[in-house]
Amino acid sequence: MHETSVAQRMVDTAIEVADQNGGGQVVGMRLLLGDMTCVDAETLSFAFGVVSRGTRVEKCRLEIVRVPTRLRCRTCGAERGGDLLEPCVCGLPGGEVLAGRELRMDSIDIDEDAALAAGKQP
Amino acid sequence: MSKEIEVARDVLQDNSQNAGTNRQRFGRDGVYVVNLMSGPGAGKTTLLERTAEALGQRVRMAVITGDIATTRDADRIGRHGVRALQINTGGACHIEAHQIARAADDLGVGKLDLLIIENVGNLVCPAEFDLGEHDKVMMLSCTEGHDKPGKYPLMFQESRALILNKMDLQPYTNFDVEAALADARAINPTIEVIKMSAWKGDGLQAWYDWLLARMAATKRG
């Protein structure tokens, strides 16, 4: 259940970034999640709902954007999707990971009206 | 009205930064650090008991061991004459870099040559959390099944060495060594393989030699 550790960091980061931008409610968040990460999107969404409760991220709409795995063959250099054990067209499995390890916060949405009305909230 | 703010930040950035700080410190202090990972019950603690017995007098070594609860592992390893510090993760399935920084303070890593981190037994989560180690080492025991490298590729992909443990039990299981190694090498072509029975003692010398060679190599920079 490391999704909880991940979700807690998402909430902390969102509050930090919101504060740097005038405060207010965080109403949206876009997260890039690579297919190769050991993070489960459904579990993460659930954990995010739990740890954001009672914070300014509570009503946040979480958009998780899957990033498919991209591999480059170590032998012939061809790029492909799929997983490490599926062989390249040249017949060899494995390869260098070009994409799919992302666990990255892309953006957040802040409610500006709430920020102006309430100023900085805890 | 809501406004969109670009963040473009790795969610685990703080852990990566802490790991980077650990790595610099370990480099400065000249201590070689291994992150030993496996599923629960693969034999990490037994291997570390043997390692403490064999190397504890020759090199200045310590162990940090992570578990959800109890100090049993640290107690076991500590009986063999090396310092062993237990981290209780309180339900978390992995160790994080800031916990290693604190444990390194408590142990005084500057006085060590070798620090082995025994991660929480888990084939999934520890892969996402860099600790600042020099090398990750993966342990897989025959009784777990040869399909595990293919099913849990990330940890095998990031490891410098793969220990196949409980080789003494292999004749009693359907564990196919070649199939396990084929998958592991497909995922990680340069992974070094050490076969052993930590309990019976077979293959341990190869592990000690590997550790000492890596220790010397990191000292040379």
Which chain A residues are Cβ-neighbours of B150 within 8 angstroms?
85
- In tens, the pLDDT along A33-80 reads 999 998 999 999 999 999 999 999 999 999 999 999 999 998 899 999
Task: Determine the Cα angle at B134 with ends B133 and B137, to 5°.
Answer: 85
In the numeric block, the tokens 């650990």 are attached to: B22
Q: Which pLDDT value is given to residue A100?
A: 95
Helix ranges, B30-159 (H):
44-55, 72-78, 97-107, 148-151, 153-157
B49 confidence band (pLDDT: 50, 70, 90): very high
AA identity, residue B93: C
- In tens, the pLDDT along A88-110 reads 999 888 889 999 999 999 999 99
SS3 content of chain A, % helix, strand, coil (to 5): 30, 30, 40
Residue of A nearest to B15 (CA): A9
Which chain A residues are Cβ-neighbours of B7 within 8 angstroms?
13-14, 17, 105-108
Output the CA–CA distances (angstroms, integers) from residue A8 to A4, A32, B66, in the order listed: 6, 16, 21
Among candidates B11, B183, B187 on the partner chain, residue whose Cβ is nearest the Cβ of A13: B11
- In tens, the pLDDT along B161-176 reads 999 999 999 999 999 9
- In tens, the pLDDT along B187-221 reads 999 999 999 999 999 999 999 999 999 999 998 76
ipTM of model:
0.86
Instruction: Taking residues B25-37, report their average pLDDT.
Output: 97
As a dihedral over the C-alpha atoms of residue A26, residue A32, residue A36, residue A42, rounded to 10 degrees, the angle is 40
